[in-house]
A = this chain, B = another copy of it.
Amino acid sequence: MTAARRPTPTVPDTVTQAAHLGRARTAQTRVLLEDYVELIADLAGDAADAPPIGPSTLARHLGVSHATVIKCIGRLSREGLATTLPYRGVTLTQAGLALADRVRRRHRIVVALLRAVGVPEAEAAADAEGIEHHVSDKTLAAFERFLRHTPVG
């Protein structure tokens, strides 16, 4: 039972595989933060006077309870991505805005790539919401290159 008798060729070297899976696990811890800052930025609009967004609004868009949102806003704030005052909603910090920009850009590119390889609109929109969080910078760069060098969609 120490190992498979034949180290099947489909199995990559052990430490590499562990690293890949670990990386995916780590990415998971960022998913919630990324979705929140992306949504907050989208809702607040691009004006300089971005208005604070309330928990119930976020809850509606996220499809979770407002209690859950309030807890997660605590984490956002602990991580320095947003500021919040009781009964006064949440506003992104500079760091939060910077992250939101990166996340929104990546989201757009992922959707565009999916569309470009023939994924239907609705599926692209839905799947991108999960895929985006696992697209590294290098992969994103490759996506952009592909989109530039590909005629239409």
Contacts and interface: CB of A to CB of B under 8 A. Distances in A.
A104 interface: yes
A20 B51 contact: no
Contacts of A8: 42-43, 45-46
Complex copy number for this chain: 2
User: Is chain A's binding surface mostly helix, strand, loop or mixed?
Assistant: helix
Given A17-B61, A61-B18, A139-B119, A53 B134 contact: no
A152 interface: no
- Contact-residue size bin, chain A (C-beta under 8 Å from the other chain): 35 or more
A97 interface: no
Contact of A118 (B28, B42, B142): B142
Nearest to A120: B138
23 contacts: A1-B51, A1-B54, A1-B57, A1-B89, A4-B43, A4-B53, A6-B45, A8-B46, A10-B42, A11-B61, A18-B60, A20-B129, A23-B126, A24-B31, A24-B130, A28-B31, A119-B139, A123-B138, A127-B135, A127-B136, A131-B131, A131-B134, A134-B134
